Structure 1
Amino acid sequence: MSTTPRPLLTQREAASACGVSRSTIRRRREAGELPGCVQDEERGWLIPVEALLAAGFRLNAPAPPEDAVPAGPVAPAAGPVAAGAVGEDVATLRAELERERREHAEARHQAELAAAVRAQVAAKETHIEDMRTALRGHLLSCGSACRSGFPGEADLLAQGLGKRSGPPPDGWGARPLGLLADAHGPAH
């Protein structure tokens, strides 16, 4: 059984048969993607059909019209134009991935900062509540001696919120510093 070798095509014939430009065939040949090419004195460069097929070209593929829009999903094309487009797509996707990574890292950093601030606020709130409790306990333990002359009394008096003349109001002992009661209700 003998195998007949496939013909050698000129760059013009190869471009026409594959539905691409001559410059595409030339660039692929110069890039070494079409092995077995030979230069003939009369016909110029000759490209083996096997090399075209191995490079992903389809023979007798009609060239699409210049202004045609594909109707559905487009399969990746072969050739240096497609390789360049794929390279550009890869570069674009890598840049987008890097941007997403930066945004993710920034969002994670912001979340960590927010958690740290929430922890500090919670610690401050706990400290304030502990101080209120300690002050209430101190005022309860010292009795009437603490009810006069406390820091800030002059400011309270100026606002009409401080000492009164006469007997203490009802419930004074149960609520030694009504002014310091927290937002959750009266002191116990």
Structure 2
Amino acid sequence: MLRKFGFIMILVILAVCLLSGGCITEDKDVPTLKELIKISRTDDYGKDILEKIREKTKENKNVKDNEVPEGEGKGTEDTIKVDLYFVKSDKSGLEIEERYIERREGIARLTVGELIKGPEDPGFINIFPPGSRLLDINVKPDGVCIVDLSSEVAGVRNSREEKLMVYALVNTLAQFPTIDQVAIRVEGKKVDTVAGYVKWPEAITPDYNM
């Protein structure tokens, strides 16, 4: 029993060493990793545990080897296609630009972030004034998505630009099945106009004719 306990302690140390990439010590009285392996090989009980440790170490290595470095292309399991509504260069209306973004929790927040960032297609323009930011977003059980924007969004210059900006946001968010309407806040406050040109209801429905 005592011998068995001793092997367990040795193999616990061995497991830590293998899973962490190795053990380094300058104390000559402490057994080295090679010595621990040698000890474990002399006993059947130790051999069984050592084999399990090796299998676990191999699994961990395979997972690490298959990780995709940040910033490199990912497969469809890691991305999702979203439709971003951008303004045509002549401001005659909205058009969809498809974009692949990271698939993770908070997809609506990521999507609005991409919308505010602007289009990749040179045929579209970014209707959000410079400095515009998403402060918060919250999807309610009744299908209303509350979007809190920074005060820079009030920088649009006329009613046409305000309508295009608001519907670019609303139409983009309404693509998600849990969102039917969008309620806009500016700096955390309820508003009936975003830039002073258009009166808006508390919850805005999408308009795909824009």
Does the TM-score normalized on the shorter chain lie above 0.5?
no
TM-score by length of 2: 0.23
TM-score by length of 1: 0.25
Question: Larger C-alpha radius of gyration, 1 or 2?
Answer: 1
More strand by share: 2
